Amino acid sequence: MIRHDYSRVDTKRRPNIDYKKRQFAKAEFQQQNYDHRLNFYRLPPTAEITLEEFETWAISRLKVLSELESCSFRNRSPEETAEYMTSILSKHLPLHSNSSRSQSLQDERRKDHYSHFILRLAFSSTEELRRRFSRLETMLFRLRFRDDDFRERQEFVKDLSLEWEEVDEDEKRELKDQLMAASSLKKGDEQEWIKVDWERVPELVEQRRVLMKRGKAYVPQREQQSLVVADFTKRLDEALSLTARALPRLDEDDRLAPILAHLSQSFNSPDAAYSSSDAEIDGLSSIRANSIDTLSKNFPLCMQNLHMTLRANSHLKHYARLQYTLFLKGIGLSLDECIIFWRKSFKLMTDDKFQKEYKYNIRHAYGDVGGDANRRGRGYTPYSCHKIITEPLPGPGQAHGCPYRTFTPDNLTAMLQRVGVQDRDLLKAVKEDVNKTRYHVACNRVFEYSHKREIKKVKDDGSWSAADLDTIVHPNAYFKRSWLLKHVGDGNAGVVAGAGDKMEE
């Protein structure tokens, strides 16, 4: 018992006594040598860099990451993303392979290494930032992993010494047929396999693309990517949460803190592109329930579709109601007006039924009722294009979603013609976009077409900058820009307050 007490105190006290000793025991303020193009970012950098480097490197990486993110928002396929990113990467964060024998090989890798860790510091503070950072870093890693030289990639993977077991020759011979069948290889393709716990490759198991034996999955070499990437993400997530815990104790003067704060601010999610400032549109007086019909001309196609369906059926199903209510909330319709709007729209329904079955959902969307978190956050955020495009397709009788995605091409064309898009070249271009699953591009194309004149005008007189006319990724942004453009001549409506900085809070 005495020993117990003794050891308990001891273990608690020990770190307090010598943490500085430990921290600086083996400080190595020195350059690391980078053998591989790819980096798993296991060791933090320890050498000195200038403040300017600190900032510029981080900004370069940030640019790469936000371009990557916009690729995913625009629903680009991996190939398209890779193509699009090539020039951006070579401009901001070039990384050459060993075989290129470039002079600046080590410098490039150093920049990559440092910038990664700087952004880790900047983006570890909140759960939201951590998740996004880890997702984007994983995308970047996967992109680089894919186009790495085959041999160098193998060496890199070998050096990682991940915990897996190579399938030896005897076993390979014994299981040959099964291995071949499981990974659908043709005879003669000599392959290497690795054996791991199946839990590490759930997506390969789910698609039955690996051989399973007693809880082990036999992963063919070429599927290695998903293993390595999964490991990368896992490590990064762990490291980020550790960083978050260490952050308050960051022994920091006021040189780095402002830079880090600035970095994390300019990395705000376009998913949250909707901000409360979007609801405040100059020149647009507070919206009433009966003005929605007029305003619906400025709505994006998804919302126009909901509006027309609502008018046609005097009803909308749950997800459509939710999508539309949130949008209306986003354009500044108050809760009371919104309830009036829905009550009037459901004109075939008894008041009792409406009060019982519908009102609560509207109030919930506005954060008027529900759990604590819902009320504090004032309900849900209006859905972004990304959210609307990636959610499951609507079932029979449902009208929600993005029409560019959910409509058949013929119905889409009919719909566009109904809202006044007649130009045949445009319709053809839209169809092509839709075929390439670039719904978002199609929507922006329609926007540019229907606001052709206004856009030209504001461009000519220079009242709107190029940033104000950036791609639209949120239905509420669509409405806001459309409304402002259409009222550009009226009074002070031409002043685009906040339209340009919609990426920021």
Partner 1 sequence: MPHSVSPESAPADESTQTMSQATSQTGPGTQEDVTMGEASTPAATEAAKVKLEDMFDDDDSDDEFTSSAPQPKPKEEKSSQQQPAATFKISDRSSFSEPDVMRAFYQRLFPFRFFFQWLNHSVVPSKEFAHREFAFALQNNILVRYQSYPTHDLLRKACVQDVPPRIDIGPIYSTNPRDRKTLRKASSFVPVSRELVFDIDMNDYDDIRTCCTGANICRKCWAFITMAIKVVDSALREDFGFKHILWNYSGRRGAHAWVCDKRAREMDDSKRRAVAGYLELLKGGDQGGKKVNVRRPLHPHVERSLNILKEHFSTTILDEQDPWADEEKAAHLLGLIPDTTLRAALQKKWESSPSRPSASKWADIDSVAKSGALSKSSRDLLEAKQDIVLEYTYPRLDADVSKKMNHLLKSPFVVHPATGRICVPIDPQNVDEFDPLSVPTVLDLLKEIDDWQGDEDENGEKKLQDWEKTSLRPYINQFRIFVAGLLKDEKDGGGLKRPREEGGDAMEF
Q: What residue ranges bind partner 1 (CB under 8 A)?
A: 1, 4, 8, 178, 180-182, 184, 198-199, 202-203, 205-208, 211-216, 371, 373
Q: Is 71 annotated as a binding residue?
A: no
Q: Could you tell me the smallest distance in angstroms from the CB atom of residue 233 to partner 1?
A: 13
Nearer to partner 1, 103 or 184 (CB): 184
What is the distance, to the nearest Å, from the Cα of residue 161 to the centroid of all Cα atoms in its chain?
30
Nearer to partner 1, 215 or 491 (CB): 215
Nearer to partner 1, 240 or 430 (CB): 240
287-312 burial string, b = 16+ CB within 10 Å, else e?
Answer: bebeebeebbebbbbbbbbbbbbbee
Residue 386 one-letter amino acid: H
- Tokens 């000519």 map to which residue? 460
CA atoms of 162 and 231, how far apart (whole Å)? 8
Residue 122 one-letter amino acid: A
Q: Could you tell me the smallest distance in angstroms from the CB atom of residue 229 to partner 1?
A: 15
Q: Could you tell me the smallest distance in angstroms from the CB atom of residue 185 to partner 1?
A: 9
Which of 68, 74, 155, 105 has its CA nearest to residue 386? Answer: 74
Q: Is 385 annotated as a binding residue?
A: yes
Q: Is 302 annotated as a binding residue?
A: yes
Reported as half-sphere exposure (CB side, CA atoms, 13 A), residue 275 has a value of: 14
Structure tokens of 459?
């461009």
Nearer to partner 1, 63 or 216 (CB): 216
Q: Is 443 annotated as a binding residue?
A: yes
Q: Could you tell me the smallest distance in angstroms from the CB atom of residue 206 to partner 1?
A: 4
CA atoms of 322 and 300, how far apart (whole Å)? 16
- Using DSSP, state whether 446 is helix, strand or coil: helix
49 contacts 113 by C-beta, under 8 angstroms: no
Q: Could you tell me the smallest distance in angstroms from the CB atom of residue 20 to partner 1?
A: 30
* Distance in angstroms between the alpha carbons of the first and the last residue of the chain: 58
Nearer to partner 1, 25 or 373 (CB): 373
Nearer to partner 1, 205 or 308 (CB): 205
Q: Could you tell me the smallest distance in angstroms from the CB atom of residue 205 to partner 1?
A: 5
Q: Could you tell me the smallest distance in angstroms from the CB atom of residue 211 to partner 1?
A: 6
Q: How far is CA 120 from CA 144, 247, 304, 355, in A?
A: 19, 10, 42, 49
Nearer to partner 1, 352 or 372 (CB): 372
**Across-strand partners of 194?**
166, 219
Q: Could you tell me the smallest distance in angstroms from the CB atom of residue 169 to partner 1?
A: 20
228 contacts 145 by C-beta, under 8 angstroms: yes
What is the distance, to the nearest Å, from the Cα of residue 304 to the centroid of all Cα atoms in its chain?
26
Nearer to partner 1, 230 or 429 (CB): 230
Residue 74 one-letter amino acid: R
Q: Could you tell me the smallest distance in angstroms from the CB atom of residue 214 to partner 1?
A: 4
**Across-strand partners of 216?**
197, 213
- Tokens 């440092």 map to which residue? 114
Q: Residue 236's CB: how many other CB atoms inside 10 A?
A: 21
Q: Residue 169's CB: how many other CB atoms inside 10 A?
A: 8
Question: From the CA atom positions of the chain, what is the Rg in Å?
Answer: 28
Nearer to partner 1, 35 or 165 (CB): 165
384 contacts 271 by C-beta, under 8 angstroms: yes
Nearer to partner 1, 244 or 421 (CB): 244
Q: Could you tell me the smallest distance in angstroms from the CB atom of residue 120 to partner 1?
A: 24
Nearer to partner 1, 205 or 340 (CB): 205
CA atoms of 55 and 260, how far apart (whole Å)? 9
User: What DSSP element (H or E) covers 449?
Assistant: helix 439-450
Structure tokens of 128?
């939201």
306 contacts 399 by C-beta, under 8 angstroms: yes
Which of 224, 235, 322, 303 has its CA nearest to residue 483? Answer: 303
Structure tokens of 222?
């070429």
Pairing of strands 193-197, 216-220: antiparallel
Query: Which residue numbers belong to the known binding site for [4Fe-4S] cluster?
Result: 302, 385, 402, 443
Q: Binding site, residues?
A: 302, 385, 402, 443
